[in-house]
Chains A and B, each alone.
Chain A
């Protein structure tokens, strides 16, 4: 791989990382607004407020960067990067087209899972270093949530890996058949629920819970660092959506997939992202104990059941 190719791949991953979360964010603005009988942003950029998030970014960049006096400065300043960069890494290994990913590694499933798990660490660091009780409670809730929901995610993804017989996302998407829609359905539900919980998005936003914790671990953040947390949240939606589309919806499989495969992947992922937004608008926040109960009493057993089902299916050659 020449230096030019490496640069091009890195730049394209970075471009996707900067554009796709904004697309999802704008879609969330508009979809949420219309689900609430509003219009959402209409002015920024002229056409239906398409540049609203760009304007928000400019606003965040102009704001003062404040570090509380009692904060652990180093950790406090590092936390947004820890939250943001893992999603860039995850996005780089996600395939969008037959044979097309910014970085094609053999064990890409493991890379994505490991990277997204690190992302939640940023929230914990932010909560710990802010010297604020709300931040601390938020951070600890985030840690508890991360521990609970990492397991169902791994179980669900492991099931698909067994079904496809590979740890490479590319091979798994190629091995996908429509039969998986039914066969892997419990795992898909488990992954989607646990994925939304992992992103700490409503209805699983107990660590943020703005009504009781101000803004959870993000309370003390201002300006660009706060914007990085927001960007990390939307990048997280992109990663979870693309991962779901690749593993459970067949990624690029569809008509004309040798030319339009990337479009199919992105469309399926966008549909999943809309569902994530839809769920946010429709459902109230789960209480902390309900949140843990859902993970341990429903998702983990369901994930194990799926694993069993997949094992039986693979051995008996469905």
Chain B
């Protein structure tokens, strides 16, 4: 009976002994902060200055967990004789995290980079109604938003940088090649400038 079973029995002892000599898998979470992967979806942070109350995020949200209130304010004309302008002022921006399913569509869809993923995840509440967070709390999470990951080597320059380095409109552009640019581009991006040069 024991004959063929002995090796297995010894193997069991060896396995447990080997596991005992290796470091344990336990993560001591409250004492040791967890090692989160990059781009962790903890909570959605709001950069209020960038928000134009365009409502795109609220409309795209699959379960309608974003609440936005705003009103229009009239901005006096910047120069005498100019026209008065109107702009939206954000009154309320709230995300109900009891409904949010962390799909990130609001962040994707925001044209003005007002919403960001933050890896912060410690905002559990004992009452589900306390999970509706207003813009002050959402703004507070901006501090925990990590810097965007570095670009890959030899990646194309980001669209924003390309746009910023382009010469201003209305500059001497017509005679491309015959007249040099009036002023150097704001961001030195040789590739972009070269495309304008005929040489």
B20 neighbours in A (Cβ, 8 Å):
31, 34-35
* CB of A193 to closest CB in B, whole Å: 11
Q: Bound state CA distance, A281 and B25, in angstroms? A: 17
Q: Is the CB of B13 within 8 A of A38?
A: no
* CB of B133 to closest CB in A, whole Å: 32
* CB of B120 to closest CB in A, whole Å: 25
* CB of B117 to closest CB in A, whole Å: 31
Of chain B, the residue at the smallest CB distance from A34 is B20
Chain A 17-40 near chain B by CB (<8 Å), digits 1 or 0: 000000000000001011111110
A312 at the interface (CB under 8 A from B): no
Of chain A, the residue at the smallest CB distance from B23 is A37
* CB of A116 to closest CB in B, whole Å: 26
Q: Is the CB of B9 within 8 A of A37?
A: no
Of chain A, the residue at the smallest CB distance from B14 is A282
Q: Bound state CA distance, A262 and B12, in angstroms? A: 33
* CB of B14 to closest CB in A, whole Å: 9
With A282-B16, A298-B2 as given contacts, are A39 and B24 in contact (CB-CB < 8 Å)? yes
Q: Bound state CA distance, A33 and B19, in angstroms? A: 10
* CB of A127 to closest CB in B, whole Å: 28
A259-302 CB contacts (< 8 Å) to partner B: 278-279, 281-283, 290, 293-294, 297-298
Give how many A residues have a beta carbon under 8 Å from the other chain's beta carbons: 19
Of chain A, the residue at the smallest CB distance from B21 is A34
A42 at the interface (CB under 8 A from B): yes
A33 neighbours in B (Cβ, 8 Å):
24
Q: Is the CB of B24 within 8 A of A283?
A: no
With A278-B17, A281-B16, A282-B12 as given contacts, are A38 and B28 in contact (CB-CB < 8 Å)? no
Q: Is the CB of B17 within 8 A of A37?
A: no
Q: Bound state CA distance, A36 and B18, in angstroms? A: 10
B19 neighbours in A (Cβ, 8 Å):
34-37
Q: Is the CB of A35 within 8 A of B26?
A: no
Given contacts A39-B24, A278-B17, A298-B2, 12 further A-B contacts (CB under 8 A): A33-B24, A34-B19, A34-B20, A35-B19, A35-B20, A36-B16, A282-B12, A282-B15, A283-B12, A293-B1, A294-B1, A297-B1
Q: Bound state CA distance, A293 and B1, in angstroms? A: 9
Of chain B, the residue at the smallest CB distance from A39 is B26
B9 neighbours in A (Cβ, 8 Å):
282-283
Q: Bound state CA distance, A283 and B13, in angstroms? A: 8
Q: Is the CB of A42 within 8 A of B16?
A: no
Most chain A beta-carbon contacts within 10 A, residue among B12, B13, B16, B25: B16
* CB of A133 to closest CB in B, whole Å: 31
A37 neighbours in B (Cβ, 8 Å):
19, 22, 24-26
A31 neighbours in B (Cβ, 8 Å):
20
A278 neighbours in B (Cβ, 8 Å):
13, 16-17
Chain B 22-52 near chain A by CB (<8 Å), digits 1 or 0: 1011101000000000000000000000000
Q: Is the CB of B25 within 8 A of A38?
A: yes
Q: Bound state CA distance, A35 and B24, in angstroms? A: 9
